[in-house]
Structure 1
């Protein structure tokens, strides 16, 4: 069983912090290293794209405060936000501030460049010195203002004895300015004010574009955040209405949902009827009629009439909160590629300063010109940046997860994309997965003592087969004692003092006095004749196409089912699946998956029932429909919201494209450094060209990742498409 499926301790709590100073992979690595070994911290994951820190803390009084103090010490101050209301973060003004800085530095670059052109055209002596002085008067305040992002970040790291990606940038700009001021005061012929201002201008352009493109990658998350409700109307026992905060809603609270408002939590309607926009769940914008007894997910929009409903879950456990957690978790994986990028980010700071110093010493010894040596060293400091490498994986994962979210597929962990891309076999549960999960009895169910007792047991089970038996029998339920459900086997209890079982025939046969031929679930009183309930099933929409598409993609299918062999064989024949195993217990399914893994297969398990939970957790990668049990959804790596199974090949396609994109991103980042660094050390790259190249490499990686949003194979969820526009 994968370790990521282990349940957290009951004495732990999840918190989310916002940390706006997270800018690169080295920031992520530093935060996780600093917090991982702290007392009371069970789990920590820093999210580069969302600039958040997700923590699992022991429930101690000082654990959170200690974490906040440590973040302050390492230069990444954090602030607590409500994990159930991730839209509560304060508006980030960074984009506007960056745009202003770009405008100011661009204005300064134009003016200083005009003065430089005059010097290059032949101005000398006093005229040249005057132009140098005027350039300095323009450049110094502009660079101090516009490059403050780099200076503040670098100083914050250095005063805590740390390094980050802004230290070499700030050092390069400072050296260029200092060298220019020195030359101006001594009447030198060459200054670098134009290079310093233009360098700042292009660096800021790169950071601004990088920020915008990361914001595009975050658009699906912000779209979900806008669907979250902050307050709701509670109906008190006296019938009065009062406003209640969303995070104060508890299961059993009665709420009123007026027309035009969204549901704050998952609900069951108790009075009223209306039409809902459930496009977040179904992907369809057509209104869905709901009435008393229907369950509605958080985030649905009430279109027509007011409704009263009872809350089923608190806001942090709602469907919308689960969707946001799964989408955010796509970047927090620790896959093979992420570990490579993290290690590179950790080695970056000491290595680049060592290279820069060695370059300065080498050029100084070779030429004796310390100004030339400093100029080349500045270029080296700028051109060697790990941003592209640090962005290679997380941006691709968050764009892919946004794409899948728009198509109705949620991802629990970004590493699941990597595992899905390498899957070699599809393993399917039958009932509720390949079939629509709503079997019907092949024959009518007349009133009889056995039928009455079987329907009574069936009414106490959530299994689809049990529900169809209970629905087909209208007689009043009988009193039952010692009721107990056995996952994968059935339900048993005592009726009129007699032990009765309903479920798997082999299990029912343990108490039956006489066997019965046929297929379908069985029922028997202890020592009495067994009775069978033949069923009819219909395939889930897109099942045949999904199996065929996966087969063409190199993933043969097999069915692992707890149902009887004849029923499994009928479905397998319809889908042209040759490999089937019937009558399996949950342990049998786990054993088969372990057997496949021992044969170097990497199985993709698709299942929905309580009896599939262990198999979903054991498989190399797993998927579950939104109609699955809560335990099944929790164990799966992917949850698809569509009714059809076309989500499975879609996810495989996106996963394979994401894996290819990550490899391309690594290739771009490595190729850039292999070309740019030697050229800079050789003195063929000016600081200006270095700034353009460094920014360009990061933008190229982000732009390459954004290509994952192209060529949609199915209509996007309208609500998310609108949010991302």
Structure 2
């Protein structure tokens, strides 16, 4: 539903007085210096919810000579403004730019990722829905008695009771629409809340007039029911948008709040992240994340680089190695030297990539929002024309006003507004039963349109859990020793080795972990070592012909190799069936991975996927998705790691498993809870059926308006009949959406499907 149809843009208007404009100094300090006299400022605009809002703000800002460009991000409710420090001899005051946003009718303040205001607004909406629903049901019960032929005294009493119930409900539940309508009119805009507010107020006022003069008809039920149905659509829309913005908040939680700075005299001081300067020495202990992009000055440790390349295998880092912000230090303490500010670090770059991608997603609603801009004045002209016609030519101004109110109510875009969100909710519920979570309702619409797909490797096509594969050829005694040593380490391969045994039969007293190398235990029999081949064998190299696509851990006694344990990542269940389904639908598939080429090539060959890319960074994956979009393709991205988050946001639509990192789940449009990858083609089936139902609902809404509007204009439909007709159209739309429940959760395995990636356009995507 359009935001303007639901009173979004002016919801926070009542609280505007509580917010002061930021000072020039605050704005300058928070702005990024882009060089050549240009600065970039980020502002929160909580009242932005649709294409009309975006156009209004961008147009007002671009009209200023000191604004180079302005872009509103709908998902994060953020406006990015690039402005000139000077225009001629006049120095720009950034406060004037913020005042321009206020003058266009929208609150603005320095950007913050917190969403407490959104949560409070959602709670207010849900309470308003409850109030309107309670009032509407009770007024309907009273109306039944009137319709059944109650005598005049009973009818008047019921009318007064209805008026008493409706008044507070309309004031409380209708304030979203009334404030938005007033805000729009005050700034010279006519939005969809204006006819809605007029219809509700006129219907109540006329009903009250009829009640005072002992009239037979009253339309209190029509006014409250109208609010109830519109608030349902508004709440659904707000919840969907709120979920779509959660990825940025997840990244903010991932970044540490500060770091321990090592002073020149050896002392230590904890500083907030924003106060860390380039060149500062930082102390990062085991289990802590790297706060900013840094260079290792001293120390050796295993580190989890999954945020960068998506691979679960720990990487040894030592003096001189570069570490990105967000990398998890696993085993040893490190002293780092900051090489970038927090706002220029790796995590900040991922945030910018995601926001840039999210900004492009706003387009799917803009057509409907532009239609809403035309709809509002058209409804006003139609109602006013009917009022003049019946007043001037019919001579009955009371009847003319009733016709005008009926037109306003019967043309309410409730069916049109519910056409999309009700299908999204039903489809989301159906997918939830199959273990698939839908985070953004519009994603189903986009998933139905895909013509190509890209999959991350580790954690997506595979489970991201190393699997011990040569147990049958390993001596059981050596296995027990290795498992005992592995129980003392957090390294993924050591943990996998320990899990494969499940219990420890051999114990060691003197055990120490050497970060980046392995584990050492001193015993009466000698020194046992478990780790890399060079560590365990004291410099021994791998034998000729050893498979480089497998990971290994070596056990040695006094540097003599006793056993080699090999590991391989297990395929995710349902991979072959899912890729066969893509091949059957002639949807080309590409594997995107940060892993080594030989590992990716082996998996691609095993899965019959011809297109694959290795050694990719987060920006490379996002760039692949952007290039696919620019080429006119609608790409589905399936990934799980933090490093996949920009690509998940940049793709036309995205999915992630529940085992994904928090930020990966938040950035994705869909999250599947079960291990099987068959959830991906199942979601496509559901989305395509949902798309058909949405189009059917739009057709129902158009047919309804084509039949109902002439009835209202002719004077046949009273406000009550108009409200019933409007409600009936909404009920039909809901019932049509419920047909999604007939979608089966069973996904048939295609027989004789062609091998994946047979379509020639895949080659164009890979180029």
- What TM-score bracket applies, with the shorter chain setting the length? 0.5 to 0.7
Q: Which residue of structure 2 aligns with residue 674 of structure 1?
A: 702
1:57, CA displacement in angstroms? 0.8
1:161 aligned onto 2:188: yes
The whole-number CA distance in structure 2 between the counterparts of 1:199 and 1:232 is 54
Q: Which residue of structure 1 aligns with residue 318 of structure 2?
A: 292
Query: Per the alignment, do residues 578 and 172 of structure 1 end up closer, same or farther by CA in structure 2, a change over 3 Å counting?
Result: closer
The 5-angstrom pairing of residues 470-485 of structure 1 reads none
1:333, CA displacement in angstroms? 1.6
Q: Which residue of structure 2 aligns with residue 494 of structure 1?
A: none
Query: Per the alignment, do residues 579 and 272 of structure 1 end up closer, same or farther by CA in structure 2, a change over 3 Å counting?
Result: closer
Query: Per the alignment, do residues 612 and 376 of structure 1 end up closer, same or farther by CA in structure 2, a change over 3 Å counting?
Result: closer
1:160, CA displacement in angstroms? 1.0
Query: Per the alignment, do residues 698 and 127 of structure 1 end up closer, same or farther by CA in structure 2, a change over 3 Å counting?
Result: closer
Point out where structure 2 has 5 or more consecutive residues left out of the alignment: 1-32, 86-90, 426-435, 438-442, 455-546, 551-567, 592-597, 661-676, 748-767
The whole-number CA distance in structure 1 between the counterparts of 2:732 and 2:281 is 54
Q: Which residue of structure 1 aligns with residue 291 of structure 2?
A: 264
Contact 2:288/2:329 (8 A) holds in 1: yes
The whole-number CA distance in structure 1 between the counterparts of 2:248 and 2:735 is 23
1:46 aligned onto 2:76: no
Write out per-residue CA displacement over residues 358-383 of structure 1, whole angstroms, 9 at most, x where no aligned residue.
55567777896335413421323423
Secondary structure at the counterpart of residue 131 of structure 1: helix
The 5-angstrom pairing of residues 117-516 of structure 1 reads 117-258=144-285, 261-272=288-299, 288=314, 291-293=317-319, 295-300=322-327, 306-333=333-360, 340-358=367-385, 369-370=399-400, 372-383=402-413, 387=417, 421=450
1:423, CA displacement in angstroms? 6.3
The whole-number CA distance in structure 2 between the counterparts of 1:236 and 1:579 is 54
The whole-number CA distance in structure 1 between the counterparts of 2:229 and 2:212 is 27
Query: Per the alignment, do residues 313 and 77 of structure 1 end up closer, same or farther by CA in structure 2, a change over 3 Å counting?
Result: same
The whole-number CA distance in structure 1 between the counterparts of 2:349 and 2:682 is 21
Write out per-residue CA displacement over residues 624-645 of structure 1, whole angstroms, 9 at most, x where no aligned residue.
9999x9xx99xx9799999xxx
Query: Per the alignment, do residues 76 and 210 of structure 1 end up closer, same or farther by CA in structure 2, a change over 3 Å counting?
Result: same
Query: Per the alignment, do residues 24 and 695 of structure 1 end up closer, same or farther by CA in structure 2, a change over 3 Å counting?
Result: farther
1:40, CA displacement in angstroms? 3.5
1:419, CA displacement in angstroms? 14
**Quick one: which of 79, 98, 101 aligns to 2:125?**
98
The whole-number CA distance in structure 1 between the counterparts of 2:738 and 2:259 is 40
Contact 1:29/1:342 (8 A) holds in 2: no
Query: Per the alignment, do residues 167 and 386 of structure 1 end up closer, same or farther by CA in structure 2, a change over 3 Å counting?
Result: farther
Instruction: Compute the TM-score of the two structures, normalised by the length of structure 2.
Output: 0.55
Q: Which residue of structure 1 aligns with residue 83 of structure 2?
A: 58
Secondary structure at the counterpart of residue 698 of structure 2: helix
The whole-number CA distance in structure 2 between the counterparts of 1:255 and 1:551 is 51
The whole-number CA distance in structure 1 between the counterparts of 2:222 and 2:185 is 25
1:174, CA displacement in angstroms? 1.1
The whole-number CA distance in structure 2 between the counterparts of 1:704 and 1:165 is 30
The whole-number CA distance in structure 1 between the counterparts of 2:266 and 2:334 is 14
The whole-number CA distance in structure 1 between the counterparts of 2:622 and 2:236 is 44
1:695, CA displacement in angstroms? 7.6
The whole-number CA distance in structure 1 between the counterparts of 2:605 and 2:184 is 63
Contact 1:24/1:387 (8 A) holds in 2: no
The whole-number CA distance in structure 2 between the counterparts of 1:702 and 1:328 is 32
1:277, CA displacement in angstroms? 6.3
The whole-number CA distance in structure 1 between the counterparts of 2:230 and 2:100 is 30
Secondary structure at the counterpart of residue 256 of structure 2: coil
Secondary structure at the counterpart of residue 54 of structure 1: strand
The whole-number CA distance in structure 2 between the counterparts of 1:652 and 1:361 is 57
The whole-number CA distance in structure 1 between the counterparts of 2:622 and 2:210 is 72
Write out per-residue CA displacement over residues 111-168 of structure 1, whole angstroms, 9 at most, x where no aligned residue.
4344434433433334433332333233223311221111111111111111223222
Secondary structure at the counterpart of residue 360 of structure 2: coil
The whole-number CA distance in structure 2 between the counterparts of 1:626 and 1:135 is 55
The whole-number CA distance in structure 2 between the counterparts of 1:281 and 1:226 is 17
Q: Which moved more, 1:683-692 or 1:68-77?
A: 683-692
Write out per-residue CA displacement over residues 207-229 of structure 1, whole angstroms, 9 at most, x where no aligned residue.
22332233333343433333233
The whole-number CA distance in structure 2 between the counterparts of 1:95 and 1:118 is 36
**Quick one: which of 143, 151, 159 aligns to 1:116?**
143
1:179, CA displacement in angstroms? 1.3
1:53, CA displacement in angstroms? 2.6
The whole-number CA distance in structure 2 between the counterparts of 1:674 and 1:139 is 30
Contact 1:382/1:687 (8 A) holds in 2: no
The whole-number CA distance in structure 2 between the counterparts of 1:111 and 1:240 is 71
Secondary structure at the counterpart of residue 79 of structure 2: strand
Secondary structure at the counterpart of residue 45 of structure 1: strand
The whole-number CA distance in structure 2 between the counterparts of 1:393 and 1:29 is 28
Contact 2:262/2:282 (8 A) holds in 1: yes
The whole-number CA distance in structure 2 between the counterparts of 1:38 and 1:334 is 26
Write out per-residue CA displacement over residues 275-334 of structure 1, whole angstroms, 9 at most, x where no aligned residue.
6666655667x6846543555443455566654333343333333333333333344227
The whole-number CA distance in structure 2 between the counterparts of 1:352 and 1:359 is 11
Query: Per the alignment, do residues 23 and 378 of structure 1 end up closer, same or farther by CA in structure 2, a change over 3 Å counting?
Result: same
Contact 1:259/1:302 (8 A) holds in 2: yes
The whole-number CA distance in structure 2 between the counterparts of 1:556 and 1:216 is 30
Secondary structure at the counterpart of residue 335 of structure 2: strand
The whole-number CA distance in structure 1 between the counterparts of 2:378 and 2:111 is 36
The whole-number CA distance in structure 2 between the counterparts of 1:164 and 1:345 is 8
The whole-number CA distance in structure 2 between the counterparts of 1:320 and 1:553 is 37
Instruction: Compute the TM-score of the two structures, normalised by the length of structure 1.
Output: 0.58
The whole-number CA distance in structure 2 between the counterparts of 1:614 and 1:116 is 61
The whole-number CA distance in structure 2 between the counterparts of 1:44 and 1:343 is 20
Secondary structure at the counterpart of residue 187 of structure 2: coil
The whole-number CA distance in structure 2 between the counterparts of 1:694 and 1:163 is 25
The whole-number CA distance in structure 1 between the counterparts of 2:620 and 2:122 is 49
Q: Which residue of structure 2 aligns with residue 81 of structure 1?
A: 111
The whole-number CA distance in structure 2 between the counterparts of 1:704 and 1:319 is 46
Write out per-residue CA displacement over residues 342-401 of structure 1, whole angstroms, 9 at most, x where no aligned residue.
542443332333344455567777896335413421323423687569989999xxxxxx
The whole-number CA distance in structure 1 between the counterparts of 2:191 and 2:303 is 49
Point out where structure 1 has 5 or more consecutive residues left out of the alignment: 1-7, 396-405, 408-413, 427-535, 560-566, 581-603, 643-648, 713-725
1:68, CA displacement in angstroms? 2.0
The 5-angstrom pairing of residues 532-547 of structure 1 reads none
